[in-house]
A and B are shown apart, each in its own frame.
Chain A
Amino acid sequence: AQSVTQLDSHVSVSEGTPVLLRCNYSSSYSPSLFWYVQHPNKGLQLLLKYTSAATLVKGINGFEAEFKKSETSFHLTKPSAHMSDAAEYFCVGLTGFQKLVFGTGTRLLVSP
């Protein structure tokens, strides 16, 4: 069965410093993976998706993620955090027919 594990429930960074949100997956086949962001009192919004066309995926707002099969990871990064990046981030895997599996989320805190 496929699952996704977000390794940190909270990540704190200072504005202007790099962001790293970690996600590992388990799957017996090549997975489909997504990162979604949820701002307070809002629905989830797609940041980026892994399509198997390229291992480095660029998303909106300067975020990117790298699919590493050898490490079964799909970590989300951003070179320089902005205050508006403070939100909850979900790593999501697709198991099969419309079966999305959500990680438990990582809350990103950005301090001035």
Chain B
Amino acid sequence: NAGVTQTPKFRILKIGQSMTLQCTQDMNHNYMYWYRQDPGMGLKLIYYSVGAGITDKGEVPNGYNVSRSTTEDFPLRLELAAPSQTSVYFCASSYGLAGPNLGANVLTFGAGSRLTVL
């Protein structure tokens, strides 16, 4: 069982370049998320999706786009890379909503993608 798989693990971009971070999960989770992790800042939510065809902005969506055409895949696109987007990006998924069964809201994380924009 692979869980959440992210590619690439490392990438260096030049300012203004575009790229897509891939994320796929094999647990049939409805909810998927993209976070960025900056030193000393914890994790910030970029975008999330509650199911195929449905996406919504998180705390820090500017400069990013997402799509969710299938349950399994949730790619994150950077259109015009900027140095401020240098970070470690984590994709995560969960089964369902918060509620009495908090097990539904436990996140499974990918191993991360380290992006440097020069």
State the A residues within 8 Å of B (CB): 9, 32, 34, 36, 41-46, 49-51, 90, 94, 96-100, 102-105
B112 touches A100 (CB 8 A): no
Is B66 on the interface with A (CB-CB < 8 A)?
Answer: no
CB closest chain-A residue, reference B45: A100
Instruction: Known A98-B31, A103-B42; judge A44-B107 contact (CB<8 A).
Output: yes
Closest 6 CB pairs of A and B: A43-B109, A102-B42, A102-B43, A44-B109, A104-B42, A43-B111
Task: Give the distance to chain A from B107, nearest Cβ to Cβ, in Å.
Answer: 7
B110 touches A43 (CB 8 A): yes
Instruction: Known A94-B98, A97-B98, A105-B40; judge A49-B112 contact (CB<8 A).
Output: no
Kindly state the separation between the CA atoms of A34 and B92 in the bound complex, as whole angstroms.
15
Is B90 on the interface with A (CB-CB < 8 A)?
Answer: yes
A-B CB contacts (within 8 Å), total count: 58
Is B118 on the interface with A (CB-CB < 8 A)?
Answer: no
A98 touches B97 (CB 8 A): yes
CB closest chain-B residue, reference A51: B102
Residues in B with CB closer than 8 Å to A49 are: 102-103, 106
Residues in A with CB closer than 8 Å to B31 are: 98
A46 touches B107 (CB 8 A): yes
B111 touches A41 (CB 8 A): yes
Listed A/B pairs (23) with beta-carbon separation below 8 Å: A32-B105, A34-B106, A36-B107, A41-B111, A41-B112, A43-B92, A43-B111, A43-B112, A44-B92, A44-B107, A45-B109, A90-B42, A97-B98, A98-B94, A98-B97, A98-B98, A98-B105, A99-B45, A102-B42, A102-B44, A103-B42, A104-B40, A105-B42
